[in-house]
């Protein structure tokens, strides 16, 4: 059997991947795009089997991390991300709201911790984190949530080295900053920043000793090559992002992508399985879009190696399955929330 990565037969892909890569060197950042394509295009049952096999080597198979989001500053963003209801360039039905007060945010986190949620992510519709009073308030939020014993994540747009260092000092565990899609497709989705801007902020986050949460969105009209390109970018970050959110586009009226055809849920399964194989030690999060997925599709995503979800009625501005619905699903599947600070 050939092990040449340019071999395009799916069975050759499976055999080559299995014998050469997984056994010899489980965590790699030197994946080639061709290797990623071979994995991505493996027949689905084989792909899921391999992803699940690797998943079990690195993670407890019955545990799922629950993470709750809150939008701490909503709407009016100067960026033109075509998927986003919070961009000031579009006319989505999102009410603008200035920065919330720290006490309120901390009380929402306390309530979530009481329900067993172990990670709390605060999102702001900023192009870049501001300086001054607003940033001081974000630091206060981070200190307060961290004191509850939760993993604390923020997503505030671009950061300077100095802001990353101050967030770290305040107790920030993780920073979310997504690459969203392949470098080639990026310019069709966002024109107000470039891929390198994203990579620069990710480098500042790493330099500060904060863990990286970085993933992307499927269903924006990208090709399979773009999905492979995104996964290749993520898997060649060194070290890998500790957390990899895979979002299915939430199609929001008023945004340029509102009328895109619905994504085949099996593409989510394929992308998650590929992410699991490429980044075996990372948490792979089935992120936005769960409201649009059937329980069976979500189950396949878990089988493919997803081990983190967003819980709570709302993501940032769009709906998410209800708390009771999620508790029921996890119970039916025999999955339990991850309790401890694993990262
Ligand atoms: N403004 C900051 C930024 O863009 O980095 C932080 C907040 S932004 C809303 C966080 C992430 O949410 C984006 O990078 C994107 O991946 C995701 N997102 C936004 N709108 C989405 C949508 N309609 N469907 C799926 N994911 C979305
Ligand atoms: C991520 O990758 N997905 C989350 C979180 N990181 C910040 C955000 C999803 C937002 C979905 C659209 C909304 O609710 O506004
Ligand atoms: Fe602004 Fe973030 Fe939305 Fe882009 S994704 S428009 S940067 S809030």
Model pLDDT, residue 26: 76
Query: What average pLDDT score do residues 261-281 get?
Result: 98
Query: What average pLDDT score do residues 236-255 get?
Result: 98
Query: What average pLDDT score do residues 76-88 get?
Result: 98
Query: What average pLDDT score do residues 164-170 get?
Result: 98
Q: Which two tokens stand for residue 158?
A: 């671009």
Q: Is the CB of 84 under 6 A from ligand 3?
A: yes
Query: What average pLDDT score do residues 68-73 get?
Result: 98
Query: What average pLDDT score do residues 247-264 get?
Result: 98
65 C-alpha to center of ligand 2: Å?
16
- What does the mean pLDDT of the chain come to? 92
Please state the φ and ψ torsions of residue 190, each to the nearest 5 degrees: -140, 130
Q: Is the CB of 250 under 6 A from ligand 1?
A: yes
Strands, E, within 174-331: which ranges?
A: 174-176, 211-213, 216-218, 243-248, 283-286, 308-311
Q: Is the CB of 157 under 6 A from ligand 3?
A: yes
126 C-alpha to center of ligand 3: Å?
7
pLDDT tens track for 3-39: 333 323 333 333 444 444 444 457 999 999 999 999 9
pLDDT tens track for 296-339: 999 999 999 999 999 999 999 999 999 999 999 999 999 999 87
Nearest Cα neighbor of 137 from 110, 165, 100 is: 100
CB atoms within 10 A of CB 223: 11
Percent of the chain scoring above 90 in pLDDT: 90
**Is the distance from CB of 188 to CB of 169 less than 8 angstroms?**
no
295 C-alpha to center of ligand 2: Å?
20
Query: What average pLDDT score do residues 51-59 get?
Result: 97
Nearest-atom index, ligand 2, CA of 215: 2
Model pLDDT, residue 25: 52
| 186 pLDDT higher than 50 | yes
Nearest-atom index, ligand 2, CA of 245: 2
Q: Which residue has the higher pLDDT, 113 or 2?
A: 113
Q: Is the CB of 178 under 6 A from ligand 2?
A: yes
Q: What is the largest CA-CA distance in the chain?
A: 62
CB atoms within 10 A of CB 185: 19
Model pLDDT, residue 248: 98
d(CA 56, CA 229): 26
Window from 4-8, 63-67, 235-239, 319-323 with minimum mean pLDDT: 4-8
- Domains of the chain, CATH where assigned: 53-332 (3.20.20.70)
Strands 336-337 and 63-73, bridge-based pairing: parallel
- Classify residue 131 as exposed, middle or buried by CB count within 10 Å of its CB (0-12, 13-18, 19+): exposed
Model pLDDT, residue 7: 28
Nearest Cα neighbor of 156 from 135, 187, 133, 180 is: 135
Q: Which residues have a catalytic role annotated? A: 77, 81, 84, 121, 153, 213, 285
Q: CA-CA-CA-CA torsion for 303, 304, 305, 308, nearest 10 degrees?
A: -80
d(CA 222, CA 40): 15
Nearest Cα neighbor of 304 from 319, 284, 289 is: 284
């Amino acid at each position: 059997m050939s092990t040449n990565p340019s071999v395009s037969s799916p069975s050759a892909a499976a055999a080559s991947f299995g014998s050469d890569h997984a056994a010899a060197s489980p965590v790699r950042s030197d994946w080639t795009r061709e290797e990623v394509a071979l994995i991505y295009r493996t027949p689905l049952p084989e792909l899921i089997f391999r992803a699940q096999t690797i998943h079990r080597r690195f993670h407890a198979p019955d545990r799922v991390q629950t993470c709750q989001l809150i939008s701490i500053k909503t709407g009016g963003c100067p960026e033109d991300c075509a998927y986003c209801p919070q961009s000031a360039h579009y006319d989505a039905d999102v009410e603008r709201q200035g920065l919330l007060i720290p006490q309120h945010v901390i009380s929402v986190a306390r309530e979530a911790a009481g329900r067993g949620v172990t990670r709390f992510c605060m999102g702001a519709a900023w192009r870049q984190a501001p300086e001054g009073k607003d940033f001081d308030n974000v630091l206060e939020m981070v200190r307060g949530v961290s004191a509850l014993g939760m993993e604390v994540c923020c997503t505030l747009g671009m950061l300077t080295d100095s802001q990353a260092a101050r967030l770290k000092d305040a107790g920030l565990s993780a920073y979310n900053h997504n690459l969203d899609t392949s470098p080639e497709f990026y310019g069709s989705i966002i024109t107000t920043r470039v891929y390198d801007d994203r990579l620069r902020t990710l480098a500042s986050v790493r330099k500060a000793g904060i863990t990286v949460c970085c993933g992307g969105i499927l269903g924006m009209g990208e090709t399979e090559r773009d999905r492979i390109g995104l996964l290749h970018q993520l898997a060649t970050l060194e070290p890998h992002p500790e957390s990899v959110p895979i979002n299915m586009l939430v199609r929001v009226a008023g945004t340029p992508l509102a009328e895109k055809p619905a994504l085949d849920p099996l593409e989510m399964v394929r992308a998650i399985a590929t992410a699991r194989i490429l980044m075996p030690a990372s948490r792979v999060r089935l992120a936005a879009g769960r409201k649009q997925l059937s329980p069976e599709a979500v189950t396949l995503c878990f089988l493919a190696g997803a081990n983190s979800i967003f819980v709570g009625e709302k993501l940032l501005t769009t709906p998410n399955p209800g708390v009771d619905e999620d508790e029921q699903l996890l119970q039916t599947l025999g999955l339990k929330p991850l309790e401890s600070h694993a990262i």
